[in-house]
Structure 1
Amino acid sequence: MTNKISIKNDLSPEQHEGLFRTLKVRFEKNMKHHKDLEWINVQAKLEANTEKLWSLNGMEITGGEPDVVGYDEKTDEYIFYDCSVESPKGRRSVCYDHEALESRKEHKPEKNAIDMAAAMGIEILTEEQYRELQKLGNFDMKTSSWVKTPDNIRKLGGALFCDRRYDTVFVYHNGAESYYAARGFRGSLRI
C-alpha cells in the first residue's frame, strides 16, 4: 500500500509543468465552463493540493480532458469534470463495477468503471452532475457514460448510463455486467 501511494503521487516536475500548461490552456479556451473564475486562483489551489494532481493527470491521460466547471464557496473547492466531447477513450469498454465484472462467465472486460474511478481518486458522475455538464455543451453525441447508480437499482442487477441524442439528455438502464466499445465513464474531482 505504501508503494502504491508513493507511486500514485509521484509526478515528475516535467509532468507537473505539462499538466499545468494543459489545464491553463483548456481553462482559458472554455471560459463558458467557469464564468467569473480566474485561473490564478485555480492554480494556487492546485499548488496547495499537489496530491490531487495525480488524479487530474489520470483524468487527462485517459482522455477525459478535465476542466473546472464550478466553485463551491461552502467548501472552498474547485470542481473539475471530464469535459471531453465523447466519453474518455481510455475508460471505455468497461462494465459498471467489480461485482458485475465477476458475474460475467466469459468475454469479461478488463476493468470496471467504479474501481477505475476509485483507483484514479475521482468520483463517477451522478445523473445530476451529468445533466449539469450537458448545460455546458454537447457531450456524448456518439458515446455514452455510466453514471452513479442508486443502490436499489444496482441490487437488482442494473446500472444507469447517459448520453445526448436529438438535443436531449437520456438516462438508460442496462445490466451492470454489460460493456460496449462506445461506453465509458466520466469523473469529477474537487480540489
Structure 2
Amino acid sequence: MIRHKGLVWTKVQAKLVSNPEKMWSLSEMERTGGEPDVVGHDKKTGEYIFYDCSAESPKGRRSVCYDREALESRKEHKPKNNAIDMAGAMGIELLTEDQYRELQKLGNFDTKTSSWVKTPSSIRKLGGALFCDRRYETVFVYHNGAASYYAARGFRGSLRV
C-alpha cells in the first residue's frame, strides 16, 4: 500500500474507463507478467503513472534484444522480438534509468533477472544498450551490445493514464 498513499481509487478508475486504449495497454502489461500498479500521480497533467511491479522482469517479455536495428543485425540465433517494438505494440514506454531507480525505492525488484532500460541515443549509436538489476542490496546499471539477449533479461514498462 505504500505505492498508493493519497490516491483516490474512484479517480483512477474514472481515468481508466475514459481511456480504453490505456486499459488495453494495462491488460497487455498484465498478460505478459508485468503486474502493473499505480506508482504515482502527476499533479501537473493529472495523469496516473503505472509501472510493471512484478518481482522479476516480466516473464512474457524476456529473451529479447534491445531494438529492431539490433535484431536485424544478428546473423544467427535471432530472438523472436525486441524490447522497443514490443513496448510500442503494447502502448507503453521502457522505464528510464531514473524511473527504474524510483521503482527500486518501492521494493526489491530484479534480484534474479535484469531489465533493459531506455538507452541514450549516444550509447545506442555506438551499438550499446543499458540494462539494470538489483544485487547485493544495490541497483546496478550495466551495458551490453544491443543485439544481446538472455533468458533472464526482459524489460519493464511505464504507462501514463
Confirm or deny a common fold (TM above 0.5): yes
**Which one of 114, 122, 132 corresponds to residue 152 of structure 1?**
122
Who is 2:95 aligned against? 125
Matches within 5 A, 1:2-41: 31-41=1-11
> Aligned partners of 1:126, 1:58: CA distance in 2, in Å?
20
- State the match for 1:179 in structure 2: 149
Query: Unpaired segments of 5 or more residues in structure 1?
Result: 1-30
Structure 1 counterpart of 2:126, which letter? L
**2:65 is equivalent to residue 98 of structure 1:** no
Give the letter aligned to residue 172 of structure 1. Answer: Y
By how many angstroms is 1:40 displaced?
Answer: 1.4
Higher Rg: 1
Q: Which residue of 2 aligns with 1:55?
A: 25
Q: Give the share of equivalent positions with the same residue, in percent.
A: 82
Following the alignment from structure 1 to structure 2, what is the Cα–Cα distance between the partners of residues 85 and 39?
23
What one-letter code is carried by the residue in structure 1 that aligns with 2:109? F
Q: CA deviation at 1:49?
A: 1.1
Q: CA shift at 1:50, angstroms?
A: 1.5
2: CA distance, partners of 1:146 / 1:64: 14
Distance 1:46 1:148 in 2: 25
Counterpart for residue 87 of structure 1: 57
Correspondent of 1:65 among 23, 30, 35: 35
Match of 1:140 in 2: 110
The whole-number CA distance in structure 2 between the counterparts of 1:54 and 1:117 is: 13
- 4+ residue segments displaced more than 6 Å: none
Alignment partners' CA distance in 1, 2:110 and 2:8:
27
Deviations 1:88-121 (CA, angstroms, capped at 9, x unpaired): 0000000000000000000000000000000000
* 1:120-162 Cα distance to aligned partner (Å, 9 max, x none): 0000000000000000000000000000000000000000000
Structure 1 residue 107 corresponds to structure 2 residue 77: yes
Deviation at 1:34, TM superposition (A): 2.2
Alignment: residue pair count: 161
User: SS of the residue aligned with 2:148?
Assistant: coil
Secondary structure of 1:178's aligned partner: coil
Task: Report which of the two has the higher share of helix.
Answer: 1
- Look up the SS of the partner of 2:159 in the other structure: strand
Q: Please give the per-residue CA displacement for 1:66-98, whole angstroms capped at 9, x wherever unaligned.
A: 000000010010000000000000000000000
